[in-house]
Amino acid sequence: MDIAIVIIVALGASILTFFSGFGLGTILTPAFLLFFPPEIAVAATAIVHFLNNLFKLTLIGSHVNWKVVLRFGLPAIVGAFIGAKLLSNLADFDRAIQMGSLETSFLNVVLGVLILLFALVELLPGLKDIHLDKKWLVPGGLLSGFFGGLSGHQGALRSAFLIKLNLSKEQFVASGIMIACMIDSIRITSYATSFDFSSFDSLIYLVVIATLAAFAGAIAGKYLLKKVTISLLQNVVGFLMIAIAALLILGII
């Protein structure tokens, strides 16, 4: 039953993330927590995330906007390295926050509030059509990469910045995928040198299963992308960000 959950989550989240630029890592990590401690679950999710994004590049990589990728992605690499190193130092640390019958963490609350603020900017009528100056790509990349390295939650913040750059829907998707690959390559390297995976015999098996399910979701996502407008894409990103923010703040994911 647990393996079926991983397959269903990887497939469904991969379809969602093809449009929004985020979701797979955020949703798959809790599924891997059924099998592994938090730091190993984050690392396993990063591997699936990376392999799936490489696969998606074969489907839509020709639409990458390299100017955006370099200005956002290079700072994101720096942020990812810092975040991944911090995760290795905090692997045994967890500051819990009790919210009634639910328990969350300080990191979840901070990240959830940030995502919620970006989501409101995306959805409020007076702010929805604002386009960010490209000078914000550097701090945006640092912030997205840092949280990607620390907790795997990189995509929502990245999408919040990229969706404001007046890119076509294909450029938005492809550029986000390329940046995610850059961040994943750094954090996986850091995880590999920081964590001991030898005692987790089922790791490779589950990663392969989740990756194949995510591939299937990516193929479905490419087909559905043809039917999506940039306005609908903005709304999907905004509402998904609100949902992810709420689940993070409440400690559900």
Give the pLDDT score at 216. Answer: 94
CA–CA dist 141, 183 (Å, integer): 10
Give the pLDDT score at 124. Answer: 67
C-beta separation of 71 from 138 below 8 A: yes
Tally Cβ neighbours within 10 Å of residue 227.
7
CA–CA dist 210, 216 (Å, integer): 10
Successive 10-residue mean pLDDT values, the chain, 253 residues: 82 81 76 81 89 92 92 88 76 62 71 70 59 75 82 73 82 90 84 79 88 93 79 73 77 71
CA–CA dist 42, 186 (Å, integer): 14
- Work out the burial of residue 136: count CB atoms within 10 Å of its CB; fewer than 13 is exposed, 13-18 middle, 19 or more buried: middle
CA–CA dist 231, 120 (Å, integer): 15
Q: What is the DSSP letter of 62?
A: G
> CB-based contacts of 212: which residues, under 8 Å, 6+ apart?
none
Q: How far is CA 29 from the centre of its chain?
A: 10
Give the pLDDT score at 47. Answer: 92
Q: What is the DSSP secondary-structure string of 92-152? A: T---EEEETTEEEEHHHHHHHHHHHHHHHHHHSHHHHT----GGGHHHHHHHHHHHHHHHS
Give the pLDDT score at 130. Answer: 57
CA–CA dist 227, 232 (Å, integer): 10
C-beta separation of 103 from 251 below 8 A: yes
> Helix 137-151 to helix 169-194 angle, to the nearest 10 degrees?
50
Burial annotation 74-112 (CB, 10 A radius, 16+ → b, else e): bbbbbbbbbbbbebeeeeeeeeeeeeeeeebbebbbebb
